[in-house]
């Protein structure tokens, strides 16, 4: 296409007032319009020229239309997307192929004008924040930063923060969309330092300096050591070995480089022996603290030059001290010895601890009688026995005597307690002492009261005064009490085990009521599966209630019924409390293996409260009617209620049964409903509770 075949009038530059920004959509419309006019005009004048001239291509000779057309299409699509730099590149590529292309010639000035006016936004955040963000040649801010009014094109973003490596990013602003550089991770600049000494084990401090002032204590330790991840800067290393002057050196840490500081200290040696061997050797160098160096015999070849105090400690003996001058390159031999004798410590009663000068004798664990070796001399000893008054004794230990004996006599008495029946618990001041018959061999003098208790027996007390060297003998009879004791399990008159359940302030039957107990109490056995130890089945709700009333009457007549309590069926809410966390693999059901009948009660493990078959074996009657309250509880427990049973003559059954094989039937929150007179249910039984009368 030749230039004179296209007639496009570009708007004069003065028509766009300085400072007036044309919206982006306006530029897009303007450029697309110029494209349409350019293409249309080119086609029209091309046809006119073709009618008067010999037939030839619309493009100048040598111009490849297969290259120009796709570039113009790509440029137009870029304009539509607002990608002005990309559109400009495509039109420039067209000009390189066809310098007279009217579409490119018409569009480029408009795109350039828009690029002069268009601005972008760059947003930068860093981790950590507070970094200096430089937008080269434009602006500088602290992160998080936001740069607005950025010209189109490529820009260099430099991110700097003290103690961190500088980061540079090139950002290409091609449109007016916000360019986010989010959470740019800054890597900490670091170096390292190796601290070594001869001999090893020198104490060191690493201090960061700012000029001549101390800035920060970085690390303390012993040589050899490597300290890494240090910020660049000036550091001071201080090293010290007891007996030597302190060593100090300044060192500069560079980024990603390791430095090294070493110090050599002069040394001498000591060889220490003692009689007897095995004494603890403690050494104090200069004004430092004493430290344990080991046990004799011992060689110490690497000691600092200077004065050292050597102290030997053996058991509870008086330590031996000596001050020694260690010289450079010289090893000295030192010998220590104690004049000693064997001392025997005894007491009445035996088993006392012995102290001398605040230190416990006998390796810190022995009690009388025991013997130790001690140096000759005058000693003051103290002996202690639990709950008895301390006894003191002065003694001279003679190294020439065959044996030295120190005896301690304590003031104490004895107490003997027996009861009928035996095995009663003996308590004094709330502290259990044991069970009768009980002998208390060592009792401090004074007045005492002892309480004797035994299950299902009335408690009793005995009192007396213990004299030094005297003995008290007590004999007590405990009266049998048939009334169950609160907080304790018991067996009732028909042999049924009742488990105390503190949350309900009452007892729960450990097992479902068996056919044997039901028949003994009521004289009947309605069960389909006849077996004495199996749970009673096919029992109506009314029959279960009559059993509870009969059992209450029997226990009351025996005098074994706690006052204000009676036997009854549990409520639905009580059953939910004592079911616990018993799992289905511990229940008699057909979930895992098909069952043919009920099983003996308690044939599987109990739950955490000691209750058997709370889930499975037989459904258990509870006292509640199937009501809207039951429906609400089931929904809260993620079970599916049967709302059609609400308001009908149905009582609630809990726990599932031997013949149930679905998760729905066996779910803890599921409730079955049945008429209280239903007696053909060979999968229904019950359990009793002993609770306060309502």
The answer to whether the Cα torsion of 667, 673, 677, 682 is positive or negative is negative
Confidence of residue 57 (pLDDT cuts 50, 70, 90): very low
List Cα–Cα distances, 158 to 58, 138, 143, 555, 572, in angstroms: 51, 12, 12, 92, 73
> Under 8 Å CB-to-CB from 119, ≥6 apart: which residues?
148, 149, 150, 151, 152, 176
Judge contact between 293 and 300, C-beta under 8 A: yes
pLDDT of res. 256: 73
22 has pLDDT over 60: no
Residue 521's H or E segment, with its range, is helix 515-522
**How many CA atoms are closer than 13 Å to the CA of 13, on its beta-carbon side?**
7
Query: Is 633 part of any domain?
Result: yes
Structural domain boundaries, residue 585: 490-692
* 214 and 165 fall within a common domain: no
Judge contact between 192 and 226, C-beta under 8 A: yes
43 has pLDDT over 50: no
Rounded Cα gap, residues 77 and 691, in angstroms: 86
- Per residue in 210-251, pLDDT (tens digit) is 766 667 888 899 999 998 888 888 888 999 887 677 888 888
- Per residue in 527-586, pLDDT (tens digit) is 999 999 999 999 999 999 999 999 999 999 888 888 889 999 999 999 999 999 888 988
What CATH number should be reported for the domain holding residue 347?
2.60.40.10
pLDDT of res. 14: 33
Query: Is 484 part of any domain?
Result: no
Question: Percent of the chain beyond pLDDT 90?
Answer: 44
List Cα–Cα distances, 690 to 487, 563, 564, 574, in angstroms: 13, 11, 10, 12
Rounded Cα gap, residues 672 and 626, in angstroms: 9
Phi (first) and psi of residue 65, to 5 degrees? -65, -25
- In the numeric block, which tokens belong to residue 4? 């004179």
| Length in residues, the chain | 694
**Total domains in the fold of the chain:** 7
* 371 and 495 fall within a common domain: no
Confidence of residue 482 (pLDDT cuts 50, 70, 90): low
DSSP 638-689: T----GGGTTSS-EEEES--TT--SHHHH-TT-EEEE-TT----TTEE---E
What CATH number should be reported for the domain holding residue 175?
2.60.40.1120
Chain-centroid distance, C-alpha 228: 30
Last residue of a domain, one of 409, 436, 460: 409
pLDDT of res. 676: 97
Rounded Cα gap, residues 601 and 603, in angstroms: 6
- Per residue in 332-367, pLDDT (tens digit) is 888 888 777 889 999 999 999 999 888 898 888 899
Q: Count CB neighbours of 241 within 10 A.
A: 26
Query: Is 431 part of any domain?
Result: yes
Confidence of residue 436 (pLDDT cuts 50, 70, 90): very high
| Higher pLDDT among residues 52 and 194, named by residue | 194
68 has pLDDT over 60: yes
Rounded Cα gap, residues 414 and 465, in angstroms: 10
- Per residue in 502-525, pLDDT (tens digit) is 999 999 999 999 999 999 999 999
* 132 and 110 fall within a common domain: no
List Cα–Cα distances, 469 to 335, 351, 389, 392, 413, in angstroms: 51, 17, 14, 19, 5
* 312 and 370 fall within a common domain: no
* 447 and 314 fall within a common domain: no
Name residue, tokens 């599966």.
529
Q: Give the mean pLDDT of the chain.
A: 84
* 348 and 238 fall within a common domain: no
Query: Is 96 part of any domain?
Result: yes
Lowest mean pLDDT among 114-123, 319-328, 378-387, 486-495: 114-123
**How many CA atoms are closer than 13 Å to the CA of 674, on its beta-carbon side?**
22
Confidence of residue 692 (pLDDT cuts 50, 70, 90): very high
29 has pLDDT over 70: no
* 96 and 44 fall within a common domain: yes
**Beta-strand pair 258-264/306-313:** unpaired
The answer to whether the Cα torsion of 586, 589, 595, 600 is positive or negative is positive
Question: What does the pLDDT average to over 395-415?
Answer: 88
Judge contact between 689 and 509, C-beta under 8 A: yes
pLDDT of res. 369: 95
Last residue of a domain, one of 185, 207, 237: 185
Judge contact between 263 and 247, C-beta under 8 A: yes
SS3 for 229? strand
Rounded Cα gap, residues 660 and 653, in angstroms: 13
Task: List, edge to edge, every strand of the sheet that includes 413-420.
Answer: 438-443, 413-420, 471-477
* 528 and 391 fall within a common domain: no
Confidence of residue 28 (pLDDT cuts 50, 70, 90): low
**Beta-strand pair 132-135/153-160:** antiparallel
Question: What does the pLDDT average to over 76-105?
Answer: 84
Name residue, tokens 């639905």.
572
* 90 and 109 fall within a common domain: yes
pLDDT of res. 626: 97
Rounded Cα gap, residues 694 and 691, in angstroms: 9
List Cα–Cα distances, 539 to 514, 524, 614, 625, in angstroms: 11, 10, 17, 17
Closest CA to 158 of 139, 182, 173: 139
Rounded Cα gap, residues 96 and 205, in angstroms: 70
Strand partners, 3: none
- Per residue in 174-208, pLDDT (tens digit) is 777 788 888 888 887 777 899 998 878 889 998 88
- Buried/exposed 596-625: b ≥16 CB within 10 Å, e otherwise: eebbbbbebebbebebbbbbbbbbbbbbbb
Under DSSP, the state recorded for 128 is: S
Name residue, tokens 């005597």.
401
Query: Is 113 part of any domain?
Result: yes
Under DSSP, the state recorded for 1 is: -
DSSP 383-435: EE-TTSPPEEEEEEE-TTSS-EEEEEE---EEEEEEEESS--EEEETTEEEEE
pLDDT of res. 41: 43
SS3 for 235? strand
Query: Is 17 part of any domain?
Result: yes
Closest CA to 629 of 641, 621, 617, 618: 641
Last residue of a domain, one of 317, 337, 357: 337
pLDDT of res. 10: 32
Rounded Cα gap, residues 340 and 334, in angstroms: 20
Q: What is the pTM of this model?
A: 0.39
Phi (first) and psi of residue 644, to 5 degrees? -70, -15
* 517 and 613 fall within a common domain: yes
Query: Is 482 part of any domain?
Result: no
Rounded Cα gap, residues 456 and 66, in angstroms: 110
* 171 and 299 fall within a common domain: no
> Under 8 Å CB-to-CB from 383, ≥6 apart: which residues?
345, 347, 352, 353, 354, 355, 368, 390, 391, 392, 393, 408, 410
Confidence of residue 76 (pLDDT cuts 50, 70, 90): confident
Closest CA to 521 of 556, 499, 484, 554: 554
* 236 and 385 fall within a common domain: no
> Under 8 Å CB-to-CB from 33, ≥6 apart: which residues?
none
Query: Is 483 part of any domain?
Result: no
Judge contact between 664 and 481, C-beta under 8 A: no
Confidence of residue 393 (pLDDT cuts 50, 70, 90): very high
């Amino acid at each position: 296409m030749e230039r004179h075949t296209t007639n496009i009038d570009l708007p004069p530059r003065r028509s766009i007032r300085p400072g007036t920004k044309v919206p982006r959509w306006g530029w897009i419309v303007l450029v697309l319009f110029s494209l349409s006019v350019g293409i249309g005009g080119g086609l029209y004048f091309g046809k006119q020229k073709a009618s008067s001239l010999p037939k030839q291509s619309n493009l100048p000779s040598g111009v490849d239309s297969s290259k120009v057309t796709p570039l113009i299409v790509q440029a137009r699509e870029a304009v539509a997307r607002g990608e002005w730099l990309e559109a400009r590149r495509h039109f420039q590529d067209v000009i390189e192929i066809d310098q007279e292309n009217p579409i490119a010639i018409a569009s480029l000035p408009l795109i350039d004008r828009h690029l002069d006016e268009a601005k972008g936004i760059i947003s930068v955040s860093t981790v950590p924040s507070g970094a200096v963000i430089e937008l080269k040649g434009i602006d500088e801010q602290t992160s998080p930063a936001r740069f607005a009014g950025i010209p189109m094109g490529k820009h260099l973003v430099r991110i700097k923060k003290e103690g961190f490596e500088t980061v540079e990013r090139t950002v290409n602003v091609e449109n007016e969309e916000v360019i986010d550089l989010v959470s740019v991770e800054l890597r900490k600049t670091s170096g390292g330092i190796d601290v070594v000494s001869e001999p090893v084990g020198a104490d060191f401090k690493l201090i960061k300096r700012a000029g001549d002032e101390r800035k920060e204590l970085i690390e303390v330790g012993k040589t050899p050591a490597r300290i890494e991840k240090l910020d660049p800067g000036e550091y001071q290393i201080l090293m010290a070995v007891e007996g030597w002057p302190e060593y100090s050196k300044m060192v500069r840490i560079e980024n990603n480089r390791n430095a090294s500081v070493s110090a050599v200290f002069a040394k001498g040696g000591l060889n220490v022996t003692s009689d007897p061997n095995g004494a603890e050797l403690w050494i104090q160098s200069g004004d430092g603290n004493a430290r344990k160096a080991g046990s004799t015999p011992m060689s110490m070849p690497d000691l600092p030059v200077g004065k050292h105090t050597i102290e030997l400690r053996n058991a509870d003996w008086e330590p031996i001290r000596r001050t020694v001058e260690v010289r450079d390159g010289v090893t000295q031999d030192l010998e220590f010895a104690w004049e000693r004798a064997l001392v025997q410590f005894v007491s009445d009663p035996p088993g006392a601890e012995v102290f001398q000068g605040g230190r416990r004798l006998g390796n810190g664990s022995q009690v009388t009688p025991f013997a130790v070796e001690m140096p000759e001399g005058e000693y003051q000893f103290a002996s202690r026995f639990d709950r008895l008054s301390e006894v003191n004794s002065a003694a001279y230990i003679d190294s020439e005597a065959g044996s030295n004996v120190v005896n301690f006599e304590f003031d104490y008495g004895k107490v003997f307690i027996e009861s009928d029946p035996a095995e009663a618990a003996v308590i004094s001041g709330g502290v259990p002492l044991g069970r009768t018959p009980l002998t208390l061999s060592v009792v401090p003098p004074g007045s005492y009261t002892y309480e004797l208790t035994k299950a299902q027996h009335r408690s009793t007390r005995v009192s007396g005064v213990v004299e030094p060297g005297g003995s008290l003998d007590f004999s007590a009879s405990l009266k049998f009490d048939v009334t169950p004791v609160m907080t304790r399990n018991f067996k009732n008159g028909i042999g049924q085990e009742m488990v105390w359940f503190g949350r309900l302030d009452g007892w729960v039957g450990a097992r479902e009521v068996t056919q044997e107990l039901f028949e003994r109490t009521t004289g009947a056995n309605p069960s389909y599966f006849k077996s004495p130890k199996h749970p009673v089945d096919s029992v109506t709700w009314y029959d279960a209630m009559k059993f509870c009333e009969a059992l209450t009457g029997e226990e009351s007549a025996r005098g074994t019924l706690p006052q204000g309590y009676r036997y009854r069926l549990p409520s639905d809410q009580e059953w939910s409390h004592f079911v616990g966390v018993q799992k289905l693999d511990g229940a008699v059901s057909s979930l895992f293996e098909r069952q043919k009948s009920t099983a003996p009660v308690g044939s599987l493990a109990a739950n955490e409260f000691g209750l058997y078959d709370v889930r499975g074996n037989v459904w258990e009657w509870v006292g509640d009617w199937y009501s809207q309250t039951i429906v609400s509880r089931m929904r809260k427990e993620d079970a599916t209620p049967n709302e059609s049973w609400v308001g009908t003559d149905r009582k609630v059954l809990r726990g599932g049964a031997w013949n149930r094989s679905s998760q729905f039937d066996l779910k803890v929150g599921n409730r079955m409903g049945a008429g209280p007179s239903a007696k053909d249910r060979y999968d229904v039984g019950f359990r009793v509770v002993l609770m306060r009368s309502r």
